[in-house]
Structure 1
Amino acid sequence: MNVDKFPVNDHDKYHAHVYFEQETVTFATMLCEKAAHLFGLSMGRVHRRKIGPHPKWSCQIIFTSNDFNMLIPWLENERNGLTVFVHAVTGNNLKDHTDMAYWLGKPQDLNLSIFKNDT
């Protein structure tokens, strides 16, 4: 995982997962909604529970390489201390969440065991 490296636009499709807690759910929701509106992106549900490999509550923003160079710096500037997990979407979930993953903010430990059947 690229914990010390700013996200790089090397793939066609991406997800950004904004992590939050009870105290920051309102801000995180507004951040995701604003990103979706400003950049014309799809926003996933606001999950008030851990889902998939994610160690915290999260909301997903779906974007492409065409959106990357505007969205990522914007998220970095607007996240107000929240952690954002950014990864490629290539069809190999394990590699997407490890080799092709980046962090804005403090890296978190993902539950990668759910991808044990991916190669």
Structure 2
Amino acid sequence: MTLEHPGRYPVNCHKAYHAHIYFDQNSVERVTVLCAAIAADFGLSVGRIHEKPVGPHLRWSVQVSFSHRDFDAFIPWLDQQRGDLDVLVHGVTGDNYKDHTDYAYWLGQPAELDLSIFEPSR
């Protein structure tokens, strides 16, 4: 399923966020350097670099966790530094389905997600 908001730039309206940076075998080295810069320059929590699909993500990805306090500095920096990498940015509200649909934004091109693993919100 493709997300509903493919053209929307991320908006700082939640307390917590994830950024999922997508990559492939040709960009593993580049994403590793990018993640090291994120940890060093912003002190953000960077997850494992998954060289396989994980969760709803059908492409290789790495997750960065951050808060609304980091958002205004981190998102423009990430957008500039990502090059041609696609990034899903979403709020973390406790409702995984809405987080990956209603509260989802893209830097780059939207990617397909497997939303069937989440219970749809009522």
Q: Does 1:32 align with 2:35?
A: yes
Q: CA RMSD in A?
A: 1.1
Structure with the bigger percentage of helix: 1
Question: 3-state DSSP class of the match of 1:109?
Answer: coil
Aligned length: 119
Contact 1:18 1:85 in 2 (8 A): yes
Identify unmatched segments of 5+ residues in structure 2. Answer: none
Aligned partner of 1:76 in structure 2 is 79
Question: 3-state DSSP class of the match of 1:46?
Answer: coil
Tell me the TM-score normalized by structure 1. Answer: 0.96
Name the amino acid aligned to 1:85: L
Provide, for residues 23-76 of structure 1, a one-character-per-residue CA deviation record: whole Å limited to 9, x for no partner: 001101111121121011110000000000002101111000000001100011
Question: 3-state DSSP class of the match of 2:5?
Answer: coil
Provide, for residues 64-102 of structure 1, a one-character-per-residue CA deviation record: whole Å limited to 9, x for no partner: 000000110001100010001100000000000000000
Name the amino acid aligned to 2:68: S
Aligned partner of 2:94 in structure 1 is 91
Name the CA shift for 1:117/1:99 in 2 (closer, same or farther; >3 Å).
Answer: closer
Task: Give runs of aligned pairs for residues 1-119 of structure 1, distance below 5 A.
Answer: 1-116=4-119, 119=122
Identify unmatched segments of 5+ residues in structure 1. Answer: none
Name the CA shift for 1:89/1:81 in 2 (closer, same or farther; >3 Å).
Answer: same
Counterpart-to-counterpart distance in 2, 1:48 and 1:5: 27
